[in-house]
Structure 1
Amino acid sequence: MTAAVDPRADSDRRAPARDRATGALSIGAILLAALVAAPILGVIGALAMPSQGAWRHMVDTVLPLYVSNTLALGAMVALGAGAVGVGAAWLVTMCRFPGRAAFEWALAAPLAFPAYVMAYAYTALLDHPGPVQTALRDATGWGPRDYWFPEVRSLGGAALMFVLVLYPYVYLLARAAFLQQSARAFDVARTLGLGPWGAFRRVALPMARPAVVTGVALALMETLSDFGAVAHFGVQTFSTGVYRAWFAMGDRIAAAQLSACLLIFVLALVALERAQRRAARYHPAGGFEALACFRLRGWRAAAAALACALPVLLGFVAPLAMLGEMALRDGHSLFGPRYLRFTLNSITLAALAAALCVLAAVILAYAERLAPGRLTACANRVAGMGYAIPGGVIAVGVMIPLAALDNGLDAWAREALGVSTGLLLSGSIGVLLFAYLVRFLAVALNTVDAGFGKITPSMDHAARTLGAGPAGALARVHAPILSGALLTAALIVFVDVMKELPATLIMRPFNFDTLAVQAHRLASDERLTQAATPSLVIVAVGMIPVIVLSARIRASRPGRRAGE
């Protein structure tokens, strides 16, 4: 006679193994978060280090200019990106006019352009020998000194470039927020005597404020982290100061101290954004009811179409046409051996960084799911700080301790073994991949965490009762469900690494150039037509996540709007 097996007893025997696996996963998540935070702590610690005199010189001469330019640039970008993004999101969400369906995805297209590529295109378009001023002189017969034309290489020109490429952050988040709003609060406002504009200003915009502020904060962080556009336009900001202190002055401590100043400002911005997001919570009353669209006619429809067309024309069509014309006229061959090597380097780095970030994101998110608590929640927040930190700051935070370690190893090897080890760590691709992990882990973590949020806890319980441990449940239950989120996370990180310039410029191994570095080098030498070839490849790759994100937001609406 066969004895009955109690499944609870079998489950109890497996519980210690599950607990050990969960504990190991939690420890791994905490160690990973500490590793990601190390460069940030290294930069802050540089404030107490003595520099070689460059820091005092910069404080007395250029630091006030760095502060004023950075603050002015950030203010202009915040206002411009907020106004364009919110206005466009409201028009395509709430109004019906000719071309609205096409504008829904086209308004996100400028996100494919890195700011430095936009700067190269508009420099060629608007400079004195460019087609705009040439056509103006041909049409009027004026000479070079007979007219005034706005200078694109200026603080205002840099702000315009950032607004054109970064307003999609605000547009995508605001549009998603508007699509999630119910018509009930809006209808109540209309019955109380508010018109469409009043209801938007008093009801819809306040409810979307957390999403709008998050989008503006993302735009500001990208602005503060940029190096290529401001360097090309000759605008002196903290980013250009870090690079100048590192390479021109040869003072790494001064570069770290400048980085620490920028880091403190960025962390204050992140804290402010999180504080307001916690304070502003909006919950729809009752069930969801889709917002009703306003059908625009006549001059109102034309004005709405023009308002949506201008950002697309200025932020995507015009620069893309300019880059294409330059590439056809005098661009480099994309299929030559040099460019094939640049492309291979870029794709290799992007693919490895994407896989590394997604793997780390799964570890962190899964650890918090299995062992929710203060430690795992803190580990996830610390690991997610990197996206707010400029790439140049991360590069400085990584390179200073690694350079010291390399020098120590080399000194020991010379003394003990009589050989020189050279740059074992700080001159390798692995260090560059680590910088990418610090910088872009938050992108993958947010996407993977959102994917885990859609998996009900009952699935975990069912897997445990069937004998699956944490690793087995992740591989056989969660991974198939998470496949879309994992692919999206990998894709976004891949494109971000393809576009990344400051950290790559500082940390790349000798004779290891990417498409972004090549574009920057050619543009710095005023060879803009040759810079068009790598720039176009970067833009083409950048279009992939734009299309994916636009499709996901459109599919996320709870219901179809009336009249659609």
Structure 2
Amino acid sequence: MTAYPASTVPVPDQRFPRIRGERHILAAAGSVVVALAVLLPIFAVLIVAAGSSGGEWPHLLRYVLPQSLATTLLLLVLVAAGTSIIGAGCAWAVVAYDFPLRRFLAWALVLPLAVPPYLAAYAFGEFFHYVGPVQSGLRAMFGFTSGRDYWFPDIRSTWGAALVVTCVTFPYVYLTARVVFLMQGRNIADVARTLGATPSRVFFRILLPVARPAIIAGLALVMMETLNDIGAVEYLGVRTLTLSVYSTWLNRGSLEGAAQIAAIMLVIVFLLVTAEQWARRKQRFHTARGTQMHARPPRTQLAPGRGILVLAALSVPILLGFGIPLYVFGQYVARRLYQFADPQVLQAFLTSIAVASVTAVLTLVLALLLLNAIRLSRSPATMLLVRLASIGYALPGTILALGLLLSLARIDNFVDGVAREFAGVSTGLLLTGTAASIVIACTIRFLALAESAIRSGLEKLPPNLDLAARSLGKTANQSAMQVLLPLLKPALLTAAILVFVDTVKELSATILLRPFGFRTLATHVYENASRGAVEDGAVAALLIIATAIVPVILLSRPLMRDHNT
């Protein structure tokens, strides 16, 4: 839910020069282990897909892939178009113009990030249902007596899924585009105006092309979220590749067929990551130029009428992405307050807290290990290992779950075989079908999130701080533990919160890896929505949204403090 890169590429901090004269075998070995753990699910999926006898391919090519692939690509195009228009447009409006409640909207436009796509789909499905408030209001207003008297678009369609995902993911583009618009300064726009360019021409011909790398980076995040979603598309009846992996695996019992579909998804993921990396390379170029212009672009004071129109236009995506879910689930909860004492809800809440807490601690430890490896040795091999360990964020949960299931089953079988041979006992399944597998999946997926947040804090520390501690007689480990780590507490807290919340929201990997009877807040909502009783999961849904608002506030707090934005 955060605006971090889909594939974090660690960049060595040149202010902390490499510590010479020491061999850092443990740090390098740790990086190797972490990188292999992240890559293991990918290798497992590719090996199973390539090693299949091919019996599934005729069925997949005839009945599954044409529709699923076309639907997935169409959904990605629609979501990309919608989020780029809304995100970039909102970013330009709050940066370039002054109108009523501008500072509040600059913050509120981030709120839809607190709503996972599957919760938004459930809320939209109820809100636009035949008996929902919208259609009921239309019938009351125009005197219609049945659905045959009027036409209303079906939210359970590809365009409906695109609308849902767009409404809750456009802040990714909004945040990245807004930063670039602020950094361009007054000079680049003023020069264009002195040459006779109109404001609209300045925006479309100059400012927008300069911001294109940032917009592409935000779109990569949006499309990763779109590919990862399974709850929304299943509820809305949209058959994407992600849903096809799930149905082929569980409904048809074909692990090989699911792996082959997942391999196709990996190709799409690779293309998205490549585009995102290309955009970040371009973005670094523009950022370097943009920092030379410290003056921010002057905002144009809009006339009262136009200001109200802009206010209304910017309020629409907030109401759709955050207002509708809050209204729908709030209405249900108001009539079901007793569910707060429901044992199933309490169990799901405690389970979510436990899994998210363990995952947050584990990702922090591994992220610190990777960053320490970079700090001690900036060799190309170490940089490559850390980069490979950070690609989990780009993996959809279904692919990660499928690969982990295959990998953990092999590990469990190996351990059981060794125990039988040398001890005469059976260990059974130690990892497969346990809560540990969910923790491992979330750790792999959100490790890049923690690493990126901690690295951002590390880059803000004074130059040569590490060497100063070393010159006072501290060893490399003492310098890290006694100097750097205490100064990184804010970054560590931010990283822990981000990972904790994303783990609470995680659905796609959890529903595939969870053991029997294992229920989190996300799976509790999913189970009730699957049987057509969204209202029974309303309390869990509000708890998820309330939890997710915390990092949104952390992320958008500078927008409220900055009087110049």
TM-score by length of 2: 0.92
Distance (Å, rounded) in 2 between the aligned partners of 1:197 and 1:183: 16
| Contact kept? 1:30, 1:375, Cα under 8 Å | no
**Aligned match of 2:484 in 478, 485, 494?**
478
Shift of residue 45, structure 1, vs aligned partner: 2.1
Distance (Å, rounded) in 1 between the aligned partners of 2:187 and 2:107: 27
What letter is aligned with 1:367?
A: A
Residue equivalent to 2:540: 534
| Contact kept? 1:81, 1:167, Cα under 8 Å | yes
Bigger mean CA deviation after superposition, 192-201 or 330-339: 330-339
Residue equivalent to 1:228: 231
Q: For this pair of structures, how many residues does the alignment match?
A: 543
Bigger mean CA deviation after superposition, 60-69 or 138-147: 138-147
Shift of residue 415, structure 1, vs aligned partner: 7.2
- Tell me whether 1:124 sits opposite 2:88 in the alignment: no
What letter is aligned with 1:516?
A: A
**Aligned match of 1:248 in 237, 251, 268?**
251
What letter is aligned with 2:221?
A: L
Structure-to-structure mapping, 1:384-395, within 5 angstroms: 384-395=390-401
What letter is aligned with 2:501?
A: V
Write the deviation string for residues 507-536 of structure 1: whole angstroms up to 9, x where unpaired.
112211100001000000000111211111
SS at match of 1:468: coil
What letter is aligned with 1:479?
A: L
- Evaluate the alpha carbon distance shift between residue 472 and residue 415 of structure 1 in structure 2; reply closer, same or farther with a 3 A threshold: closer
**Aligned match of 2:161 in 153, 158, 166?**
158
Identity %: 40
What letter is aligned with 1:39?
A: P
Higher Rg: 1
- Evaluate the alpha carbon distance shift between residue 284 and residue 431 of structure 1 in structure 2; reply closer, same or farther with a 3 A threshold: same
Shift of residue 229, structure 1, vs aligned partner: 0.1
For structure 2, the 5+ residue unaligned runs are 1-18
Shift of residue 553, structure 1, vs aligned partner: 5.3
Bigger mean CA deviation after superposition, 98-107 or 31-40: 31-40
- Tell me whether 1:301 sits opposite 2:307 in the alignment: yes
| Contact kept? 1:54, 1:249, Cα under 8 Å | no
Structure-to-structure mapping, 1:196-211, within 5 angstroms: 196-211=199-214
- Tell me whether 1:519 sits opposite 2:525 in the alignment: yes
- Evaluate the alpha carbon distance shift between residue 349 and residue 55 of structure 1 in structure 2; reply closer, same or farther with a 3 A threshold: farther
**Aligned match of 1:73 in 72, 75, 88?**
75
What letter is aligned with 1:288?
A: H
Bigger mean CA deviation after superposition, 284-293 or 391-400: 284-293
Shift of residue 286, structure 1, vs aligned partner: 4.2
Bigger mean CA deviation after superposition, 438-447 or 74-83: 438-447
Shift of residue 259, structure 1, vs aligned partner: 1.0
Structure-to-structure mapping, 1:46-445, within 5 angstroms: 46-50=48-52, 53-142=55-144, 143-279=146-282, 281-282=285-286, 283-284=289-290, 286-330=292-336, 333-410=339-416, 420-445=426-451
- Evaluate the alpha carbon distance shift between residue 333 and residue 482 of structure 1 in structure 2; reply closer, same or farther with a 3 A threshold: same
- Evaluate the alpha carbon distance shift between residue 133 and residue 284 of structure 1 in structure 2; reply closer, same or farther with a 3 A threshold: closer
Shift of residue 421, structure 1, vs aligned partner: 3.2
- Evaluate the alpha carbon distance shift between residue 23 and residue 452 of structure 1 in structure 2; reply closer, same or farther with a 3 A threshold: farther
Shift of residue 144, structure 1, vs aligned partner: 2.6
What letter is aligned with 1:57?
A: H
Write the deviation string for residues 201-249 of structure 1: whole angstroms up to 9, x where unpaired.
2222222222211111100000011000000011101111111111111
What letter is aligned with 1:543?
A: I
Shift of residue 330, structure 1, vs aligned partner: 4.3
- Evaluate the alpha carbon distance shift between residue 59 and residue 177 of structure 1 in structure 2; reply closer, same or farther with a 3 A threshold: same
Write the deviation string for residues 303-351 of structure 1: whole angstroms up to 9, x where unpaired.
2111211111111112211110012234761222221111000011111
Shift of residue 368, structure 1, vs aligned partner: 1.1
Shift of residue 272, structure 1, vs aligned partner: 1.9
SS at match of 1:19: coil
Write the deviation string for residues 376-397 of structure 1: whole angstroms up to 9, x where unpaired.
2112211221111101100111
- Evaluate the alpha carbon distance shift between residue 129 and residue 177 of structure 1 in structure 2; reply closer, same or farther with a 3 A threshold: same
Shift of residue 176, structure 1, vs aligned partner: 1.9
What letter is aligned with 1:501?
A: L
SS at match of 1:145: helix
Shift of residue 417, structure 1, vs aligned partner: 6.3
What letter is aligned with 1:202?
A: R
Residue equivalent to 2:22: 19
- Tell me whether 1:468 sits opposite 2:474 in the alignment: yes
Bigger mean CA deviation after superposition, 144-153 or 413-422: 413-422
Residue equivalent to 1:11: none
What letter is aligned with 1:472?
A: Q
| Contact kept? 1:25, 1:363, Cα under 8 Å | yes
What letter is aligned with 1:64?
A: P
Shift of residue 299, structure 1, vs aligned partner: 2.8
Shift of residue 264, structure 1, vs aligned partner: 1.3
TM-score by length of 1: 0.92
Distance (Å, rounded) in 2 between the aligned partners of 1:101 and 1:285: 23
Distance (Å, rounded) in 1 between the aligned partners of 2:475 and 2:25: 13
Distance (Å, rounded) in 2 between the aligned partners of 1:237 and 1:49: 24
SS at match of 2:390: helix
Shift of residue 26, structure 1, vs aligned partner: 2.5
Write the deviation string for residues 449-489 of structure 1: whole angstroms up to 9, x where unpaired.
11222224411111111122222111111112211111111
- Tell me whether 1:447 sits opposite 2:449 in the alignment: no
Distance (Å, rounded) in 2 between the aligned partners of 1:44 and 1:164: 34
Shift of residue 279, structure 1, vs aligned partner: 4.1
Bigger mean CA deviation after superposition, 406-415 or 150-159: 406-415
SS at match of 1:334: helix
What letter is aligned with 1:216?
A: L
| Contact kept? 1:77, 1:220, Cα under 8 Å | yes
Shift of residue 361, structure 1, vs aligned partner: 1.1
| Contact kept? 1:51, 1:254, Cα under 8 Å | no
Distance (Å, rounded) in 1 between the aligned partners of 2:107 and 2:521: 27
What letter is aligned with 1:326?
A: Y
Residue equivalent to 1:12: none
What letter is aligned with 2:119?
A: V
| Contact kept? 2:173, 2:215, Cα under 8 Å | yes
SS at match of 2:148: coil
What letter is aligned with 1:91?
A: A
Distance (Å, rounded) in 2 between the aligned partners of 1:114 and 1:146: 34
Shift of residue 23, structure 1, vs aligned partner: 3.5
Aligned-residue CA RMSD in angstroms?
2.0
Bigger mean CA deviation after superposition, 512-521 or 247-256: 247-256
For structure 1, the 5+ residue unaligned runs are 1-14
Write the deviation string for residues 154-175 of structure 1: whole angstroms up to 9, x where unpaired.
1111000000000011111111
Distance (Å, rounded) in 2 between the aligned partners of 1:76 and 1:51: 36
| Contact kept? 2:345, 2:524, Cα under 8 Å | no
Write the deviation string for residues 79-98 of structure 1: whole angstroms up to 9, x where unpaired.
00011011111111121101
- Evaluate the alpha carbon distance shift between residue 417 and residue 52 of structure 1 in structure 2; reply closer, same or farther with a 3 A threshold: farther
Residue equivalent to 1:543: 549
Distance (Å, rounded) in 2 between the aligned partners of 1:362 and 1:415: 39
Shift of residue 182, structure 1, vs aligned partner: 1.8
| Contact kept? 2:35, 2:389, Cα under 8 Å | yes
